[in-house]
Amino acid sequence: MKGLRKVLTPFAPDQSGASGVVYSMGALIVIIDAGGCTGNICGFDELRWRDTRSAVFSAGLRDMDAILGRDELLASKIESAASRIDASFVAIIGTPVPATIGTDYKALKKLISNKVTIPVVAIPTNGMKTYNEGEWEAYKALIDEFAKDSVEDESGEIIVGMTPLTYGDDYMDITLDDIKRIKSSKKLVAASSSGIDACIYSGNDFEIYNPVVRANIPDGITGKTLVCHDEVVGKTIRDAGIDVDIATFFKLHDSIKRDGDRKLTEEDDFVAMVKEGGYDTIVADICLKELVPDFEGKWIDLKCFAVSGRS
């Protein structure tokens, strides 16, 4: 049955990915919801919440707010919050509620911009896509608002897309200053599928690899290997000279895809790939192992926070 999951829990959605990108940028983050999506972000999908704080607010939409489109009320709430918080910019992040009523994010951004003295970034996520797509929407909105065209920047590399939702505790925050110089940085590294999209959009040259995985290729990989994770993890292991097929429940770019690689949609897709592939080793989050209890090869656990919630 299409969409049926008997083992895996829902993956982190796009609004969580968007929030995760701007979380450490000193923004005033406003989730356009009634409260539930904000609770899920802070309570489940944002592992930094346990150690650090960010100004994350819910719009607190009531039924009539959504039905009547009371954008002026929302803008006034944001104006009040911005007057009390030293924020670098306002980030408004969409959920299923504004998607359902057809919110005009350009108009909402303009309305809020007329009330605050800091920049406003609108990220039109809808809660129906996966986290990596929300990360990409956030990068795109940030680049449009802040990236500058300038002479070549000699101040070092920028790693894009190495977020907690993909890499758990092995994340690397991208800063607002990084976004400002992304078009002119001497070295860009795309560390995930959303990082690839962001680097392409920047128009700058970039490399594709995960720096942590490159420095710590999992021990014990033998024979034909399946890596089920973000596509860049699989590519990084493959580039180390290991015979790897890549599987991912997220995006798989044509520039990375080779014969044997597969974009997964259903649990059964993963089950079929393992049964048909004849793999000696699987590198993936341990939560996937329950899908293939008859697999007799070697399993190397590689956590993916957006899939299992394990950091």
Read off the pLDDT of residues 190-221 as tens digits, 9 standing for 90 and up: 999 999 999 999 999 999 999 999 999 999 99
* Whole-structure pTM value: 0.94
d(CA 156, CA 115) in angstroms, rounded, equals 37
pLDDT at site 61:
79
Domain 14-146 has CATH 3.40.50.1980: yes
Predicted confidence at residue 102, as pLDDT, reads 87
pLDDT at residue 67 in the model: 66
Mark the ranges of the chain whose per-residue pLDDT is less than 70.
Answer: 1, 66-67, 69, 150-155
Which part of the chain has CATH 3.40.50.11730?
Answer: 217-308
- Per-residue confidence (pLDDT) for residue 154, from 0 to 100: 62
| Domain boundaries 217-308, corresponding CATH code | 3.40.50.11730
In this predicted structure, what is the pLDDT of residue 130? 96
Residue ranges of the chain assigned to CATH 3.40.50.1980: 14-146
pLDDT at 180: 95
Question: What pLDDT, on a 0 to 100 scale, did the predictor assign at position 70?
Answer: 80
194 in Cβ contact with 132 (< 8 Å): yes
